[in-house]
Each structure stands twice: as structure tokens, then as C-alpha cells.
Copies of this chain bind each other. A is one copy, B any other.
């Protein structure tokens, strides 16, 4: 009788109540705990009652209430990912990798962006705590003031792993790339290829990674005093393009280019088209997530910084921390090795 069915359906809609094990118990004529046991394949139960209960759970579209489970088990199966900003580069890769892997491990993910604002970063940590996360993955924003809050986090039993943009703290685990070393090697590469006035286009000078990479460059410069190294900074692709252009125009002798990131590469790549602006450039080397360089029709070498690899390593560390939440006093510091590659245009060049 469609009329009655519709009526029942209407009741159902209006009440908008999720089916609980209680409902199933009533429907099956057994007690709540029997349902719970059946749903968990408890060995004490006969397989026919298990089947019966499971089938009616299916029919009713039973979905266990995660909130109740969390309250009981006292773990939220929730972690937070706090990123300095949501940009086109690198971050989507990180989000994707962390999101996938955490889900695979039965954890849900809270993603928060600090928008390069240290107040917001702290606010994000607060939100994470209030949301009951078991662990937090953070890539710090510029001028981060997180140091003051690390101890409270640890006191709360919340695991913390810093990645990419980190800070030194005796109790905190980190995952980074070899910023200094890579920059050092990059300049070595340029120098080995007879580039002498070299222009380094770096990101925001306040960032820890900018400083580390700059340090690496300067280290190499000290070893080789005849090398002329120039710096220019840019906060985004636009600035990278314009600042580099201006610089190259007034320093026509420059024949080697080091670009710190994809964002900068994208801006500077515009100059590669106007062969006049880059006619003197012998070699370009960058640090990249790996995707962009192959779209650029100009021979360039790049160190691949795999967001996926870093995310996996950081998450692995975090889960490790969460599981053994006992005081593992020694903080781990993982370093992601980078691989030097050349884009497809280099090969064409060689042929």
C-alpha cells in the first residue's frame, strides 16, 4: 500500500533520526549489546543470529556513530594539517598526499590555513585542540610564534610534527629537505658549468627556507671567492618576473640562474620566451615540485622536491608518535633527499 509506505517514509524524514544499534535491537528483538557483538563478529554468537542482525542493519542503512565511538575510545581519529597558506604550488600536492594516507589509516583530516599570519596559526592550533585532534602536522608560516605553544601541545598529549618550514625545538620532530645543501649544490652546478655572474632569485627573505637556501649559497661563495653572486627576492610570480627582468637588463653579463621555487620559476619562465632577455643565460637550475619544469620549453635542471614524499614521511612520523604516545624524548629529524633532474627540453637540446 503506497500510501502507508509514504507515510512511514514521511515520519522517517521528519524525524531525521539516524538508525542506532538501539533501533536495530528493537527490530531484531534482542538486546543492544547483542547487536553490538553481532556487528563486531563476536565469537560467542551463533553465526545465524549474526547474519540476521547484520542483514537488518544493512536494510536500515545503519551507520555507526563516530562521535559516540570517539567519546568512548577517547581518541578522535582526527588529525590536523596546518599549512602556511593555500597556494597553487606544492600545497595541493601535500594536501592530497596527507589526505589520502590519513584516510587510509582510518584518520580523518582537518585542514587549516594560516594565511601567513602567525596569529591565525595559533588560532588554528587552538581549533585543532578543541576539535580533539590526536596529532598536528604543521608547516610554519613566516614569523611563526609557535615556540611558545609547543610545550602546551605536548602537555596535552597531542603529537606534533613540523615539516618543510620548521623551527628548532628539542622536543619536536621535523621533516625537511636539505635546504642548505641543495642550494649549495645548485650553485656548485652552475659554477661547474662556467656560469660566473650568477643571479639567485629567492622567495620572501623572512622565510626560514629562504634563509637556509641563502646560507647554502653563501657557504659555497666563501669557498670560491672569484664567483660573483647576486640576489633578488620575490614574494610571488609577478614579482619574480619583473624583478628578474629588471635585474637582467641592468646586469647583462649574468649567465647562470638559480630559482628557489616553482612559484618563482613560473614568473621567470615568461622571460624565457623573449629570447632577448635571457640570451646570455647558460644554465638555469631550480627547486621544484616536479611538474612545472617539463612544461617549460627552455632547458633547465631542477631538484625535485616531492610533496608526496615529504607528506608521507611526516605523516608516518606523526602516526608513530601517536601510537607510542609515551615520552619518546628524542625528537626525530628526517631529511628528504632531493634528486637532480633535467626537463624534457634539455634532452631535445642534446639531440
The residues of A with any CB-CB pair to B shorter than 8 Å are 12-14, 16, 18, 61, 63-68, 70-71, 76, 86-89, 91-92, 95-96, 99-100, 103, 108-113, 126-127, 129-132, 152, 154-157, 237-238, 241, 266-267, 270, 272-274, 291, 294-297, 325, 327
Contacts and interface: CB of A to CB of B under 8 A. Distances in A.
B86 A96 contact: yes
A267 B241 contact: no
A89 B272 CA distance: 23
A67 B76 contact: yes
Contacts of A110: 108-110
Best-surrounded residue of A61, A95, A132 (most CB of chain B within 10 A): A132
A215 to B, nearest CB: 30
A47 to B, nearest CB: 26
Contacts of A18: 156-157
A257 to B, nearest CB: 18
Contacts of A238: 294-295
Given A108-B127, A110-B110, A297-B274, A16 B155 contact: yes
Given A16-B155, A108-B110, A270 B297 contact: yes
A278 B70 CA distance: 60
B111 A99 contact: yes
Contacts of A89: 88
Q: What 10 A-B pairs have minimum CB-CB distances, sorted nearest first? A: A16-B157, A86-B96, A273-B273, A67-B70, A66-B130, A67-B71, A88-B88, A86-B92, A67-B132, A111-B111
